[in-house]
Structure 1
Amino acid sequence: MCGIVGAVAQRNIVPVLIEGLRRLEYRGYDSCGVAVLADGGPRRARSVARVADLDAQTRDTHLEGGTGVAHTRWATHGAPVTDNAHPIFSKDELALVHNGIIENYESLREMLRGKGYVFVSQTDTEVVAHLVHSLYRGDLFAAVRETVTHLDGAYAIAVEHKDHPHTVVGARQGSPLVVGLGEGENFLASDALALGGTTERFIFLEEGDVCELTLERVRIVARDGASVQREVRTVEAYGGGVELGPYRHFMQKEIFEQPRAITDTIPQSDSFDASLFGENAAAVFADIDNLLILACGTSYYSGLTAKYWLESIAKIPTQVEIASEYRYRDSVPNPKTLVVVISQSGETADTLAALKHAQALGHVHTLAVCNVATSAMVRLTSLSFHTHAGREIGVASTKAFTTQLVGLFVLAATLGKLRGTVSAAQELDYVRQLRHLPAALNSVLALEPQIIAWSDAFSRKESALFLGRGLHYPIALEGALKLKEISYIHAEAYPAGELKHGPLALVTDAMPVVAIAPNDALLEKLKSNLQEVKARGGELYVFADSDTRIASEAGMHVIRMPEHYGPLSPILHVVPLQLLAYHTAFARGTDVDKPRNLAKSVTVE
């Protein structure tokens, strides 16, 4: 992984390839490169710095050509060094870029070494490049088609060969790849966003597809060898809103964009109608008796929050599983289960694999909560809810998370209405609360100066503990994740009632304890937990609703939230935790938007 751009044109395509990589920078990467066919063979530039450095290299060396492939790499096999950066060459005759992981690369490498191929990188990708070369008999398309029959694992590849100056061949299995259609030129990318401003006409390749791009046509062959015509979709992929404006980092900007993102995501209707999730949603919802939520990372925590809503509002049993674990255990499928998958990108490899596993087990009712309407996840599920977070550049998710929560709350209210557990009066009240959310969030964002004051103390710590109870325990998990992701401070989260079952042993004045204190039914229990921390010399930092009667004192720092917000309170309480993580990371001088070892769109398992 992480990003692919390719093109065949009658103009110098390098600026288009570089711009495509810039648009994919938000995903995170360790190295980048571009290769074009020129002077009778592939020529390339590679960098272990940023795309801006690669751009400078191409200008300095006058790298130009009409056919090319480019890549941003997030290291899996082999360190992030120049020799491992893509494009990878074979015999200086072909160049290849690759997203994904080839699981049988070791046996293929030994076979290719026996044929005289010398490996100069530690990547699994070099195996694919040499395999294509070894199978090439004058027809690049045929060589790629034969190559993929030998590959185990996930991949999206793009290949160019010196003998075919106006051809790029691509293939995908388990990793996304789209074709962009132009006039007298055609394009390939791992994300339509990479080609925004270049074309708005796209073909989303399906599993097992192999495609051939030339100046005038695109040929696609399916896994079974049959030539196919895939649907051409018009997608406005141009990414607006990418300027920082008055903000230091995109993460900070995206935190402050949450009122707008939530406004855009909240349905305009005054009622919770099944049609919000698809044409046949009413029939599906009538046929289910439980939910299974599958997700990873931040999206998993949104699923954990949704479990509380679904069981308390809709009274429907709900199970939440980490997607990367689900498909590796024995489970008992129920045809009346609604499988809900959650992902910002809709291309998360673990979640896609879990979805396909669920479908293979016989689950027919599926729903995606996703920020990208054209993603593989949305295309694979029968129902979907499109969140409108807009483009999220920072690796640490903020507005994607809160808009997911909005979508999941709407799901809970809709199911509750259909199941008779939400009255007409309650429905109107939920609608009013949703509509007021953006204003309430603006009040929370106004707390930033107080949170900045806390961040100075946090920046000098190496560990932190987050506590929450009930509906807010998943929010504590999310707060801990944000802090560790971008500040590199070790952070853990626990249900506050679990303190005395182990975590209390960690509490000292050197370990700050962050607590979420909404004015709900568990408040008095939480207060007792806070006293347990204080009695042992712990330093507490509490985000408390205004009417909780928790006051600042020695060892107890309190920031008052503007108002209690009932079941939607988690959406408000997560925002100060995002700000605390952001300002702590800024104080520590880390790369906030591109934290080490992480990628925005995790397209490998």
Structure 2
Amino acid sequence: MCGIVGAVAQRNVVPILLEGLRRLEYRGYDSAGLVVINNGLHRVRSIGRVASLAEAVKQQHVHGGLGIAHTRWATHGAPNEANAHPHVSHDLIAVVHNGIIENYEALRLHLRELGYVFTSETDTEVIAHLVHHYYKIKPDLLIATQQAVADLKGAFAIGVVATDAPQRLVCARRGSPLLIGLGIEENFIASDVSALLPVTQKMIYLEEGDIADIGLLAINIYDAAGQAVTRNVFVSEQSSEMSELGNYRHFMQKEIHEQPRALIDTLQDAVMGEQLSSAIFGFEAENVFAQIDAVAILACGTSFHAGSVAAYWLEAIAGIPCRAEVASEYRYRISVPNPRALVVTLSQSGETADTLAALSHAVSLGHEHTLSICNVPESALVRASKLRFLTRAGPEIGVASTKAFTTQLAALFLLTMVIAKQRGRLTSEDETKYIHALRALPAEVQRVLTLEPAIAQWAERFADKQHALFLGRGMHYPIAMEGALKLKEISYIHAEAYPAGELKHGPLALVDKDMPVVAIAPNDALLEKLKSNLQEVRARGGELYVFADFDTQIANSDGVHVLQVANNAGWLSPILHTIPLQLLSYHAALQKGTDVDKPRNLAKSVTVE
């Protein structure tokens, strides 16, 4: 979950590296560093944010035409300067790395026997020494990297430079994302397209096992077997400005307010007419959906919550059995495979390590029907799936996911409708009604966003709290889970979510005047049951914060705070009720003074197990 940038050019690459790191800082921000080759190897490292590194680079007047840089989320070793990347071997080889080397302890022991001295606790340092070891035998950076990579077990994306090869950058990927940016007599590497948008929009996405030898004028790519290959060049639809903060205080706030536009962009092709087509999921979708008799959704974190909502939709509307499962658990348990099930994987980045591994495991069990719902067109998850649907949320920089979540929900509702239609469970009247509801959704979300000032006032009451409880029923229970996750992620308030009916089975013991209880109260078939649950909270002195539909007849009173969110939106209600929970978490974090976009111990793109 680290960020890598590299560049080879006929100009000073240091500003390119620093700007790239700034744009990748969401991937890790424990430490940062860079190496530049210019009549020798010059390394600068710092603890904390990229701004600290930039200041150190300025003081040391570092410049050069070849360099690699890194922003770190600590795995092996504490976040200190000794463990910061790049790692260097004998002032000759420098390496940056994202991922985890699983056999690093055995390699470290072997390299020590060869006389290498380690100065860090990281697994990455073994890569630098391995490349150096092979480079001494044959001084060719590509060959040395290929031989070193063959010794590694685990997941990695690496960039490698050598002091005596001042116009050569070698990189490799296995299990972690890496791409090449193409310029005019200059080329680049990065973990994410956003890092390179200021210098190019032409990208090559490396495939699993690829190693690339990059110079000023030429790029040579080799597959895992060492054979020269050609990879497609893509032009990114993103712009440099899309990753800028603009007039917002934080990226999270910006991304919350971008949700109407993100939903329009995600839905527009699907709901332009009066009928849905299965082709929005791929040319083979109609044939695939005709063969399935169940759905299995695999995802992590926020994406798992989206999948959990979809399980309610798919069973109720499409009449097809569905289960949502945490990807990191699925691959490590003995399951009963159903080859006729559609396996749906959800990920914002498309590079989430556990989700990729879960998909691979499902395929190994005989699951041929696979669909990825993802925000990144050329990600590993999309490439590994038979069918795909792209959410067009645009770049999401804040670590706490917002617009990626709501666009995933929109995509999953489309999937529900298409499968229901294929199974003869969607009448033409309902199809038309749902399409119109989806078209109206962005405007409804925009109206909910107008509640921000009132929600900010609520958030003031959360600033001194240590715990919070979130309640929901039915398809809103996963939304309560998402609300609790958001609050704990960015405000560090411990929060739990429960189905409201489970209060009396344990959680009610925690309720007192110091634990705010947040409830989602749509006007649905479970409303009266929920009202009874809320009375249980008030009877124990609990303070209630209720996000309700307009017509729920829940009034403000002593200890009961109510905000009316929207008219009842039926099956789409979970999307609307997500928005105020995001705003509550954001403003609670502001009140507590935490780092909203970069919460402690977390990173955005979880590319390690």
When the two structures are superposed, what TM-score results if normalisation uses the length of structure 1?
A: 0.98
CA contact (8 A) 1:516 1:573 kept: yes
- Equivalent positions of 1:210-221 (< 5 A) are 210-221=211-222
Question: Once superposed, what is the RMSD of the aligned Cα atoms?
Answer: 1.3
Give the corresponding residue for 1:256: 257
1:298 to 2:296 alignment: no
Residues 339, 366 of structure 1: 8 Å contact kept: yes
196-205 vs 251-260, which deviates more?
Answer: 196-205
Taking the TM superposition and a 5 Å limit, the aligned residue runs for 1:173-188 are 173-188=174-189
> Residue type matched to 1:544 in 2?
A
1:236: how far off? Answer: 3.7
Q: Which amino acid counterpart does residue 557 of structure 1 have in structure 2?
A: H
**DSSP-derived class of the 1:24 partner:** helix
CA distance in 2, matches of 1:577, 1:583: 10
For residue 237 of structure 1, report the CA deviation from its aligned partner.
Answer: 4.3
Identify the range of structure 1 (318-327 vs 263-272) with the bigger mean alpha-carbon deviation: 263-272
Find 2:371's aligned residue among 367, 370, 375: 367
Whether 1:527 and 2:531 are equivalent positions in the alignment is: yes
Separation (CA, whole Å) in 2 of partners of 1:396 and 1:53: 24
Alpha-carbon contact 2:486-2:582 (below 8 Å) kept: yes
Measured after TM superposition, the shift of residue 201 of structure 1 is 2.4
Partner in structure 1 of residue 202 of structure 2: 201
CA shift digits 1:58-106 (9 cap, x unpaired): 2222211111111111111111111111111111111100000001111
Superposed counterparts of 1:554-593, under 5 Å: 554-593=558-597
Alignment correspondent of 1:46:
45
Equivalent residue for 1:73?
72
- Could you tell me how far apart the structure 1 residues matched to 2:92 and 2:242 are? 40
Change (3 A) 1:372 1:536: same
The C-alpha deviation readout for 1:429-458, integer Å capped at 9, x for no partner, is 001111111221122111112211211111
Write the deviation string for residues 217-244 of structure 1: whole angstroms up to 9, x where unpaired.
Answer: 1122211222212222222443323443
TM-score by length of 2: 0.97
The residue that corresponds to 2:430 in the other structure is: 426
Identity %: 63
CA distance in 2, matches of 1:491, 1:358: 32
Q: Deviation digits for residues 262-282 of structure 1, max 9, x if unmatched?
A: 111113422221011111111
Which has the higher mean CA deviation after the structures are superposed, 25-34 or 165-174? 25-34
Between the aligned partners of 1:427 and 1:209, the Cα distance in structure 2 is: 45
Q: Does structure 1 residue 490 correspond to structure 2 residue 489?
A: no
- Pairwise mapping of residues 227-238 of structure 1 onto structure 2 (< 5 A)? 227-238=228-239
* 2:90 pairs with 1:95: no
Count of residue pairs the alignment pairs up: 604
Q: Which amino acid aligns with 1:369?
A: I
Q: Which amino acid aligns with 2:301?
A: G
Please show how residues 138-537 of structure 1 align to structure 2 within 5 Å: 138-266=139-267, 267-270=270-273, 271-537=275-541
Matched AA of 1:247: Y
Contact in 1 for aligned 2:204/2:233 (Cα 8 Å): yes
- Offset of residue 53 of structure 1: 2.6
Which segments of 5 or more consecutive residues in structure 1 lack a partner in the other structure? none
Compute the displacement of 1:110 (Å). 1.1
Amino acid at match of 1:462: Q
The answer (yes or no) to whether the contact 2:101–2:156 under 8 Å persists in 1 is: yes
Per-residue CA deviation, residues 96-143 of structure 1 (Å, 9 max, x unaligned), is: 000000011111111111111111111100011111111212111111
Q: 1:575 is paired with a residue of what secondary structure? A: helix
1:597 to 2:598 alignment: no
CA distance in 2, matches of 1:301, 1:522: 20
Q: How is 1:111-122 mapped onto 2 (pairs within 5 angstroms)?
A: 111-122=110-121
Determine the C-alpha separation between the residues in 1 that align with 2:400 and 2:380.
22
User: Which residue of structure 1 aligns with residue 125 of structure 2?
Assistant: 126
Q: Show structure 2 runs of 5+ residues with no match.
A: none
Partner of 2:10: 10
What is the SS of the residue equivalent to 1:252?
Answer: helix
2:578 partner SS? helix
Q: Distance in 2 between matches of 1:237 and 1:517?
A: 38
Equivalent position SS for 1:241: helix
State the distance in 1 between where 2:128 and 2:13 align.
Answer: 22
For residues 392-434 of structure 1, the C-alpha deviation after alignment (integer angstroms, 9 at most, x for no partner) is 1111111111111000001101111111111101000001111
